[in-house]
Amino acid sequence: MGTDRTVTVFGAYGHTGRFVVAELLERGFVPVLAGRDADKLRELAASHPGLEARQASVSDPASLDRALAGADAVINCAGPFAATAAPVIEAALRAEIPYVDVAAEIEANLDTFELFADRARAAGAVIVPAMAFYGGLGDLLATAAMGDWSEADEVHVAYGLNSWHPTTGTRAAGKVSRERRNGRRVRYTGGRLEYRDDAPPTLKWSFPEPMGPRDVIGEFTMADVVSIPSHLRIPEVRTYMTVEAARDVSSPDTPAPVAVDEHGRSEQSFVVDVVVRSGMSERRAVAYGQDIYAVSAPLAVEAVHRILTGRTRAVGVASAGEIFDAPDFLKGLSPHIVVEESQL
């Protein structure tokens, strides 16, 4: 693509951060490697000769300013985002550059909307949280499925993962989220978040082939309950997870993902099945791909590219489906993700 634009990647040495750095290089951007751990930064920089590494801490605003100096945008890949999102957003606002993150934490994404919506809109700034597999992809699929509908009764986002080997970052973020909600689970119903102490239901979901019917956790709530209602008038947003993947991510014994190809992707495959219902009508959008962490990289980088080239529909804090042309964005993710749409 040959953009030569500079993008700071905060948390560049993390599992998802490395995918983001590789995707930026592939598309002609110049990544600046940033993060809290000096040793990990040096190790990553050694594998990418010519790239600049800048140590920065969320507790040191001046260091964040140095990390973002001269950059055209920043992608935050460092979780838990409950700790990193606000300080990095503040630095992005000071630098007057767009901010994108890959946060899957429900509470952290809510914080971003609640704390920065007014300031970012007034400044004409662009802040896009949850621009990743969870939160971003589901929102894009739901928005594309909506088509010309201005509202709907409900949206269902079913995650068909054949396995889920969590990263250290995923485990840390999950721990923070559980602590913030006092161990309760959350769902989005009646146009608001509801916290519950009971166990979620187990249901059957008929995924498209080749996955087919699978047992799912019926209210395995992900960041889509923040991103989708932020701009779509849908009072019921439900997300589901295949039982085997939910079991993997909750087990302390499940190992981290292991690369099986030259791109560093794991063998994990996924199908995201989104069904939007209005009255008796249904519309559906389905995405297929490999490795949820690897796929977050083209989602975040495509977002930055569209922001920097002026292909946006909003300013302030905005989710993927609101700020981008969802069908066109999804086409731009090929060949990383295959998308199918239908009206039922």
pLDDT, tens digit (0-9, with 9 covering 90-100), for 219-259: 999 999 999 999 999 999 999 999 999 999 999 999 999 99
**Is CATH 3.30.360.10 what the domain over 133-291+338-343 is classified as, yes or no?**
yes
- Section 3-17 average pLDDT: 95
Is the model's pLDDT at 2 over the cut of 50? no
Q: How confident is the model at residue 343 (pLDDT cuts 50, 70, 90)?
A: low
Regarding the domain with residue range 6-132+296-323, which homologous superfamily does it belong to in the CATH classification? NAD(P)-binding Rossmann-like Domain (3.40.50.720)
> In this predicted model, what pLDDT tens digit does every residue of 265-322 receive, in sequence order?
999 999 999 999 999 999 999 999 999 999 999 999 999 999 999 999 999 999 999 9
How confident is the model at residue 12, as a pLDDT? 98
Number of C-beta neighbours around residue 289 at 10 A: 22
Quote the crossing angle between the two packed helices 15-26 and 292-308, to the nearest 10°: 50
Mean pLDDT of 66-77: 98
- For residue 142, the 8-state DSSP code is H
**Residues paired with residue 194 on neighbouring β-strands, in sequence order:** 187
Residue 3's pLDDT band, with cuts at 50, 70 and 90, is low
- Band (1; pLDDT cuts 50, 70, 90): very low
pLDDT of residue 68 exceeding 50: yes
The answer to whether 4 and 28 have CB atoms below 8 angstroms apart is: yes
Domain chopping of the chain, boundaries:
6-132+296-323, 133-291+338-343
Q: Is the pLDDT of residue 112 over 60?
A: yes
String of DSSP letters for 76-116: E--S-HHHHHHHHHHHHHHHT--EEE----HHHHHHHHHHH
CA distance 236 to 49: 49
Q: Mean pLDDT over residues 313-342, rounded? A: 95
Q: Dump pLDDT digits (tens) for 114-125.
A: 999 999 999 999
Query: Per the confidence metrics, is the pTM higher than 0.95?
Result: yes
Retrieve residue 218's tokens: 């019926």
Alpha helices in the chain (DSSP H): 15-26, 38-46, 61-68, 81-95, 106-123, 138-146, 168-180, 224-227, 243-250, 292-308, 320-323, 326-332
Burial of 134 (0-12, 13-18, 19+ CB in 10 A): buried
Write out pLDDT tens, residues 149-162. Answer: 999 999 999 999 99
3-state secondary structure 154-202: EEEEEEEECCCCCCHHHHHHHHHHHHHCCCCEEEEECCEEEEECCCCCE
Q: Give the tens place of pLDDT for each residue, 85-95.
A: 999 999 999 99
Q: What is the C-alpha separation between 119 and 327, in angstroms, rounded?
A: 29
